[in-house]
Amino acid sequence: MARFPALLAGLLLLAAAGTSTAELLRVQHRPKDEGSLAFLVIGDWGRKGSHNQSEVADQMGIVGERIGSEFVISTGDNFYENGLTGTDDPAFYQSFVDIYNAPGLQTTWYNVLGNHDYRGDVEAQLSPILRAKDSRWVCFRSAVLNTGLAHFFFVDTTPFEDKYFTHPGKDTYDWSGVLPRDKYLSDLKKDLDLALKESTATWKIVVGHHTIKSMGEHGTTVELMDQIVPILEENKVDFYINGHDHCLQHITSIDSKIQYITSGGGSAAWRGNIKPWSRPEEMKFYYDGQGFLSVQMTKDEASFVFYDVFGEVLYKWAVTKVAKLYSDA
């Protein structure tokens, strides 16, 4: 029996065609209030409760209930170390269903894939079989989530990274649905650009697993800087939200209005591999530990809060459509 079937009342998966020229999957989320939106962001979490995953989940539930969170965005690496083995893998319950069980987390989860997810059965995470087991679960490679106030553009970033193809080491990746790679990436970039151009939302938010800008372990992803950032800048994207680096991070840009936000502290963290940032005026916050992000939006303002594993506020800031940025650390 599906868990929380009523959740699907606010979620509508639309065909990719219709009147749109872009081929990305379209997802409609009906907000409780057309004038506001609240949600949580977590990444790099699926470790069967270990490495403080359960503790972070508990605090997410508290904050989610307090702010009236309408959904959760997962920035990928949903199941360590090697994704799911299939739709019957017990890790789906051990790392997701049984961990994120607080009342404040019984909302739709919109999940993208990370590089660790590609080491398993990708189609398993995309399968409606998992949604039948727990109706909160919605996972896709790339899609557009329309909430009215904000449009979220989920991008499958793993196939962009050359090293997974040229130097995979001992890791095996499931590239079914991706090959031929050049065509996959070309189509994805074209479709993202078209979808962004069509959008008339107040806020444009792009979500991917991999860092674009980061002073963490993985640093800047050259392939995304070269191939994705020009599309984001041309289409006046407000925020790029990612995981991959197991930290919490906020970087602005002196070259555009885009703000780069990392929420990858869902479980294992404290890597200690912190790189210097050549433009210190861009680096607003970095925390090398576990935690998560809450976001509350209206048509005039978007407010962000980073929390640690104890639910303590680490850093908060807000962005308005009039005054670009102010913060209250």
Cis peptide before 280 (omega within 30 of 0): no
Bond into 282 cis (ω within 30): no
Contact between 293 and 260 under an 8 Å Cβ cutoff? The reply is no
C-alpha to C-alpha distance for 168 and 189, rounded to whole angstroms: 24
**DSSP code per residue over 11-58:** EEEE-S-TT-S--SEEEEE--SSTTEEEEEEE-S--STTTTTHHHHHH
Which of these is catalytic: 29, 209, 218, 250?
Answer: 218
Kindly state the DSSP code that residue 104 receives in the 8-state scheme.
G
In this structure, are residues 91 and 48 in contact, taking their beta carbons and an 8 Å threshold? yes
Q: Is 244 a catalytic residue?
A: no
3-state secondary structure of 221: coil
Find the angle CA(105)-CA(106)-CA(111) to the nearest 5 degrees: 75
Burial string for 167-183 (b: 16+ CB within 10 Å, else e) reads eeeeeebbbeebeeeee
Q: At a CB cut-off of 8 Å and minimum separation 6, what does 120 contact? A: 79, 82, 83, 84, 85, 89, 174
In angstroms, the CA 254 to CA 245 distance is 22
Q: Of 34, 119, 33, 37, which Cα lies nearest the Cα of 76? A: 119
Q: Which residues participate in catalysis according to the annotation?
A: 218
